Amino acid sequence: MKIYINGKLFEREQAKISVFDHGLLYGDGVFEGIRAYNKLVFKLKEHIDRLYESAQSITLKIPMAKQELIKAVINTLRANKLKDAYIRLIVTRGEGDLGLDPRKCAGNATIIIITDKITLYPDSLYKNGLKIVTVPTVRNLPEALNPQIKSLNYLNNILAKIEAINAGAEEAIMLDHLGYVAECTGDNIFIVRRKQLYTPPQCMGTLRGITRDTVLEMAPKMKIPVHEHVVTRHEVYTSDECFLTGTAAEIIPVVKVDGRTIGSGKPGEITKKLTEQFRKLTKTEGVKYAL
Ligand code: PXG
């Protein structure tokens, strides 16, 4: 496996960064998780735009034009001869000293690109659906650490994931500071009520997921009305269908939430239709590359 660090490719064992990198010391950096399907990088421009927005928000200058970074991603995929891949793109503040002050890292931003095979939920979970729970850890306050910043500081989500695992569940619903449904630890959430789709608005402690955006685009074309609207736990419990969206998981059905069976207890029809349409898109859309 070849890993890109600051313009060079390294074998996995040699791919190392400084222990003074503020990405490690403070989680001071940003990242993206992207997928390639059969030599097409899905929504690459959208991921790159979100990465630069996260960086802009934390005043981290990415020392490379977007187009160059796109080329670096493609070159890394080619170097690894991957036609299907999960791509982790990371930009850290870089090497500094043992203080918080980001000025000490000036000009040192570290760019890392890891391309790997995808590890997914097992097929049976796509067929039968996930059982998930609401967890005590609430999503970061947007006024404190806005979830739109896809930062290297994922402890908020990891704590929620630990709580889900301890409860024997596959994912966690995280509520926002007001007690409304925000999102899951690495996925956005949708519910279906009376053949209409609802997902929490991004201002409620919810990352504007690129798969979420794709569903918001697809649904109206399929004559399924969509609403970005506050969602309560009651609305999830009494929904007809529920599913999660994310780059890694794509669209995955949920059949049980906090011990309540959702709808028929099986993946719903609208969820299935959207999944089918999403898979079609990933086969036809994206930035093409040759191996
Ligand atoms: N919410 C959060 C908090 C996320 O981290 C999503 C939603 C979905 O966004 P996209 O753009 O992928 O549709 C994410 C996705 C994982 C994993 O292992 C997922 C993410 C990051 C790191 C790991 O599933 N981000």
pLDDT tens-digit profile of 181-199?
A: 999 999 999 999 999 999 9
The model's pLDDT over 235-257, given as tens digits with 9 standing for 90+, comes to: 999 999 999 999 999 999 999 99
**Based on the domain organization, do 179 and 138 belong to the same domain?**
yes
Residue 150's H or E segment, with its range, is none
Considering the domain architecture, whether residues 127 and 261 belong to the same structural domain is answered as yes
Q: What is the CATH number of the domain that holds 198?
A: 3.20.10.10
Q: Is residue 102 lining ligand 1, measured as CB closer than 6 Å?
A: no
Based on the fold, state whether residues 148 and 60 are members of the same structural domain: no
For the stretch 3-41, pLDDT in tens is: 999 999 999 999 999 999 999 999 999 999 999 999 999
In this structure, the answer to whether residues 175 and 266 fall within a common structural domain is: yes
Do the domain assignments include residue 221? yes
Listing DSSP states for the chain in one string gives -EEEETTEEEEGGG----TTBHHHHH--EEEEEEEEETTEETTHHHHHHHHHHHHHHTT---SS-HHHHHHHHHHHHHHTT-SSEEEEEEEE--B--SSS-GGGGTT--EEEEEEE------HHHHHH-EEEEE-SSPPPPTTTS-TTS-BS--HHHHHHHHHHHHTT-SEEEEE-TTSSEEEESSSEEEEEETTEEEE--GGGT----HHHHHHHHHHHHTT--EEE----HHHHHT-SEEEEEETTTEEEEEEEETTEEPTTSS--HHHHHHHHHHHHHHHH-SEE---
**CA 97 to centroid of ligand 1, rounded, Å:** 30
**What is the pLDDT averaged over residues 268-280?**
98
For residue 214, being part of any structural domain is answered with: yes
- Residue 74: pLDDT over 90: yes
If you measure from the C-alpha of residue 272 to the centroid of ligand 1, how many angstroms do you get, rounded to a whole number?
21
Assign 261 a pLDDT band (cuts: 50, 70, 90).
very high
pLDDT on residue 217: 97
194 contacts: CB under 8 Å, gap ≥ 6: 240
Specify if 55 maps to a domain.
Answer: yes
What's the 34 CA to ligand 1 centre distance in angstroms? Answer: 9
Last residue of a domain, one of 89, 116, 143: 116
Average pLDDT of the chain to the nearest whole number? 97
User: Is any atom of ligand 1 closer than 6 Å to the C-beta of 174?
Assistant: no
Query: Quick one: CA torsion of 249, 183, 222, 118, rounded to 10 degrees?
Result: -10
Range of the domain at 110: 2-116
DSSP-H helix ranges across 58-181 = 66-79, 123-128, 155-166
With respect to residue 286, please indicate whether it lies within any of the assigned structural domains: no
- Asked if residue 163 and residue 141 are part of one domain, the reply reads yes
pTM over the 0.85 mark: yes
The response to whether residue 188 sits with its C-beta less than 6 Å from ligand 1 reads yes
User: Which of 138, 188, 218 for a ligand 1 pocket mutation test, highest count of atoms within 8 Å of Cβ?
Assistant: 188
Same domain, 104 and 162: no
Supply the residue whose CA is at minimum distance from atom 16 of ligand 1. 186
What confidence tens digit (pLDDT) does each residue in 126-155 have? 999 999 999 999 999 999 999 999 999 999
Q: Are strands 130-134 and 171-175 parallel, antiparallel or unpaired?
A: parallel
Does residue 128 sit in the same domain as residue 256? yes
Rounded to an integer, what distance in angstroms lies between the CA atom of residue 252 and that of residue 260?
Answer: 18
Cβ of residue 275 lying under 6 Å from some atom of ligand 1: no
What residues are annotated to the active site? 150
pLDDT the model gives residue 203: 80
How many Å apart are CA 83 and CA 97, to the nearest integer? 40
Ligand 1 site, residue 246, Cβ cutoff 6 A: yes
Confirm or reject: Cβ of 47 under 6 Å from ligand 1. no
User: What per-residue confidence (pLDDT) applies to 165?
Assistant: 97
Residues 73-101, mean pLDDT to the nearest whole number: 98
pLDDT at 115: 98
How many independent structural domains does the chain possess? 2
Residues facing 90 on adjacent strands? 31, 112
Percentage with pLDDT > 70 across the chain: 100
Confidence of residue 97 (pLDDT cuts 50, 70, 90): very high
pLDDT band at 204, cuts 50/70/90?
confident
Residue 38 sits in the same domain as residue 142: no
CATH number for position 90: 3.30.470.10
pLDDT of residue 238: 98
Angle at 156 between CA 151 and CA 159, to 5 degrees: 135
Residue 124: CB atoms within 10 Å: 8
Same domain flag for 81 and 146: no
Give the end of a domain, one of 101, 116, 131: 116
Domain membership of residue 288 (yes or no) is no
Same domain as 95, residue 190: no
**Range 98-113 average pLDDT:** 96
Give the end of a domain, one of 116, 141, 171: 116
236 and 137, same domain (yes or no): yes
Which ligand 1 atom is nearest residue 147's CA?
Answer: 3
| Spacing, Cα 69 to ligand 1 middle (Å) | 20
| Pair 6, 134 in one domain | no
Q: How confident is the model at residue 205 (pLDDT cuts 50, 70, 90)?
A: confident
